[in-house]
């Protein structure tokens, strides 16, 4: 029997127009987008469908837009494809929790809305940046971060795939790390600053943590119906208290994407991954982590039709 995992994208996968075809073709999509606009107190649907891009790419808009888009797809898919486990990259972990029924869609969206606002505020209070380092291993990147820190913060933020690590921290420290990574003895294939509004998954996000803890603690969580492999530990979680703690820690911890995918395949014998949402970032990473698993993307009305959903 095929063992299936759903994975949900995070920030960076958004595109103007996402969800428009779903809204036009499915009544359930219209209902969810209307509910989301109401919860957000703004026309999130209009920004998702028509942009402009410079608004959609703002953290506090991007996160709810991606979350709602992925959730709409899960509702259209229903029980026609059933996942044995779920995960998401950063923001996508919230979507995974809604899919696993540990938190309701409405409460999940309120959490994501506040998380996006807090991350934006942290970026303003403690300006930082992120960079992709390609072609080096974990030990080398750790070493580079230690050398580059000089009493500032720079740390690995995303262990995405073999030879693909994102670092995060103070602007000067990240730029020093980029220069060190490019030079001897490391000679990274690529070291490039990313267009982001803050140093996500680093200690610079500490200014957001207490408020995030308050809203997480005031939200009703239940035990998940399927295991969620978390970003912060790469381990399966079903207990509601551990889920809340994982979402809290995730903000300042590294995203252990490579490890959680490897663990999922090994421990649950997962043979197929479906990326549910905008873009193909996660299936691209999974292909690099393990080229033997089957990969699928469902992000549009056309994709749903191709899978007879």
Residues annotated as catalytic (active site), given as ranges = 90, 201
Contacts for 74 with CB less than 8 Å, ≥ 6 apart: 6, 95, 98, 99, 276
Nearest to 243 by CA among 118, 105, 100: 100
Q: Closest Cα partner for 91 from 68, 72, 74?
A: 68
Cα distance from N-terminal residue to C-terminal residue, the chain: 20
Residue 135, phi-psi category: left (phi > 0), alpha (psi -120 to 50), beta (remainder)? left
Buried b or exposed e, range 53-91, using 16+ CB within 10 angstroms: eeebbebbbbbbbbbbbbbbbbebbeeebebbbbbbbbb
User: How many whole angstroms separate alpha carbon 33 and alpha carbon 41?
Assistant: 12
d(CA 292, CA 226): 24
Peptide linkage before 185 cis (omega within 30 of 0): yes
Q: In what order do the strands lie in the sheet with 154-161?
A: 154-161, 164-170, 128-134, 190-193
111 contacts 88 by C-beta, under 8 angstroms: no
């Amino acid at each position: 029997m095929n063992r299936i995992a759903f994975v949900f994208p995070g920030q960076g996968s958004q595109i103007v127009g996402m969800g428009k075809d779903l809204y036009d073709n499915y009544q359930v999509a219209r209902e969810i987008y209307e509910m989301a606009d109401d919860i957000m107190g703004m026309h999130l649907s209009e920004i998702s469908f028509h942009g402009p891009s410079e608004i959609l790419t703002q953290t506090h808009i991007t996160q709810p837009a991606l979350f709602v888009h992925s959730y709409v797809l899960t509702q259209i898919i229903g029980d026609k494809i059933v996942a044995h486990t779920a995960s998401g990259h950063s923001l996508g972990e919230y979507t995974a929790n809604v899919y696993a029924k540990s938190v309701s869609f409405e409460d999940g969206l309120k959490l994501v809305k506040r998380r996006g606002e807090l991350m934006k505020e942290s970026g303003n209070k403690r300006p930082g940046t992120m960079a992709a380092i390609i072609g080096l291993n974990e030990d080398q990147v750790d070493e580079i971060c230690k050398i580059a820190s000089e009493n500032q913060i720079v740390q690995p933020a995303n262990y995405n795939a073999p030879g693909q690590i994102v670092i995060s921290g103070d602007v000067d420290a990240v730029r020093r790390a980029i220069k060190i990574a490019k030079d001897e003895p490391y000679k990274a294939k690529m070291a490039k600053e990313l267009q982001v509004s803050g140093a996500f998954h680093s200690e610079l996000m500490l200014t957001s943590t207490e408020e995030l803890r308050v809203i997480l603690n005031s939200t009703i969580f239940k035990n998940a119906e399927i295991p969620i492999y978390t970003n912060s530990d790469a381990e399966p979680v079903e207990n509601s208290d551990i889920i809340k703690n994982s979402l809290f820690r995730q903000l300042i911890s590294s995203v252990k994407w490579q490890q959680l995918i490897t663990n999922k395949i090994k421990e649950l014998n997962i043979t197929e991954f479906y990326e549910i949402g905008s873009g193909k970032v996660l299936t691209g990473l999974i292909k690099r982590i393990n080229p033997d698993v089957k990969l699928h993307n469902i992000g549009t009305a056309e994709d749903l039709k191709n899978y007879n959903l």
